[in-house]
Homo-oligomer: A and B are copies of this chain.
Amino acid sequence: MNAIPSQESERIELPFVRNLWYVAGWASEFSGAGPFGRIIVNEPIAFYRKKDGELVALADRCAHRWAPLSYGRVEGDDLRCMYHGARFARDGRCVEVPGQERIPPILRVRTFPTVEKHRFVWIWLGDPERVDARLIPDLGMLDQPERRIYFASLDYDAHYSLITDNLLDLSHLAFLHEKTAGRQVVPMQEPSNTCYMPGGSEAKSLERGVRVESWVSGPAARNVALPKNVPDGDLWTRTDFVVPGIFISQDRMYPYGTAERFKGLAPDADSAPLSDSMSIQAVTPLTARKTRYFYSFGPRASDLEQEEADAMWAIANETFAEDLRMIQAQQNIIDAYPGPRMGGIAADRGLVLFRSLMKKLAAGERPPPGLKEMAVGAP
């Protein structure tokens, strides 16, 4: 617990990794034909839907004079630029220039693979040859009909790595959120015979992320994410954080004795929890200082009344506003007052593991095809 994971100087800003699926938005944002303009990892994207509903993603920059295609008009399966009328097909080729027969091959825009899954729209910005839909993490909890699903998003004026840091060191719950989500968190000073989630040393590496698991017993286990009519017991919590910034958290209350029965390990699927709540969140860089944060809350409908769930969602929104205010202030300080290095503490273990993983992924990327040869607007 008291080992210092890293006191090495570290770069504060993680790189942008391209060969990954990014959350482009909640699928519900893309209702109708579009077009829908978004910036994702510095790429301007125009999304639109073909007649069969397929979601197409084109570079949001007409190949003619760089007007935004997201200001355009969907015509059949194509997207027409509404500045001078160039029309682009689903594959990025220009198929019509008004008043002109021959269409020069330069009139082409880049396309990006998209997938709609788990209520999200995902986009692949990297090497087209490496696209693999299996790399989308399993967020099946978002699809479970037994849950009430609340979801929203908010925008940060901050680099994405400050937000992933935040989600990887939940020791901040007891301080930043002492009056909201963290208000009933176990004091970290209090000795406990069960390991408690925010402790940094528990963070373990996953192939594509970091996992923290814990059991906590008794009244201390109650936090705001648990409905009041659920009796006290043994709380099992698992938080996975996977690349590029997907946070998957489960909270399950079991009868007293369950933790002991499983020897501090994860309960098996057959053991019925008294209550079951989850939160899935996603961090998508827009630019170097703009990041979109998607968050959700999914308690089991049978665990609590609608009003209780609504109240808990209201507290979650307050909580995320506290993060926003603190992280933007942190970004301002980082930008205005450069210094030699941050000081490491034990609770940083999760973020150190994750940062190391992201840097490894970045190092393994060939120079991204989107930046030089395949620049937006050219094939």
Contact = CB atoms under 8 A, between A and B. Distances in A.
Contacts of A337: 42-44, 61, 376-377
Nearest to A94: B343
Contacts of A66: 330, 333-334, 339, 342
A64 interface: yes
Interface stretch (A16-24, A249-257, A344-352): A344-352
A346 B97 CA distance: 9
Given A99-B171, A102-B4, A336-B44, A86 B345 contact: yes
Interface in A149-179: 165, 169, 171-172, 174-176, 178
A188 B104 CA distance: 19
Interface in A320-347: 325-326, 329-330, 333-334, 336-337, 339-347
Nearest to A96: B189
**Which among A63, A189, A330 has the greatest number of chain B C-beta atoms within 10 A?**
A330
A33 interface: no
Given A85-B174, A171-B85, A343 B99 contact: no
A369 B101 CA distance: 48
Given A84-B169, A85-B171, 13 more contacts: A4-B102, A67-B330, A71-B325, A83-B172, A83-B176, A83-B326, A85-B175, A99-B188, A99-B199, A100-B345, A104-B343, A106-B343, A339-B376
Contacts of A178: 82
A322 to B, nearest CB: 9
24 contacts: A2-B101, A42-B336, A44-B336, A61-B333, A61-B337, A61-B339, A63-B343, A65-B165, A66-B330, A67-B329, A71-B325, A71-B329, A84-B171, A84-B347, A86-B345, A98-B174, A99-B171, A99-B198, A99-B347, A106-B344, A287-B336, A339-B377, A339-B378, A342-B377
Contact of A83 (B84, B101, B175, B340): B175
Interface residues of A, number: 68
A178 to B, nearest CB: 8
Interface of A: 1-2, 4, 7, 42-44, 60-61, 63-68, 71, 80-86, 94, 97-102, 104, 106-107, 165, 169, 171-172, 174-176, 178, 188-189, 198-200, 287, 325-326, 329-330, 333-334, 336-337, 339-347, 375-378
Give the interface SS of chain A, mostly helix, strand, loop or mixed.
Answer: loop
A216 to B, nearest CB: 14
B104 A7 contact: yes
A346 B174 CA distance: 64
State how many copies of this chain the complex holds: 3
A44 B64 CA distance: 35
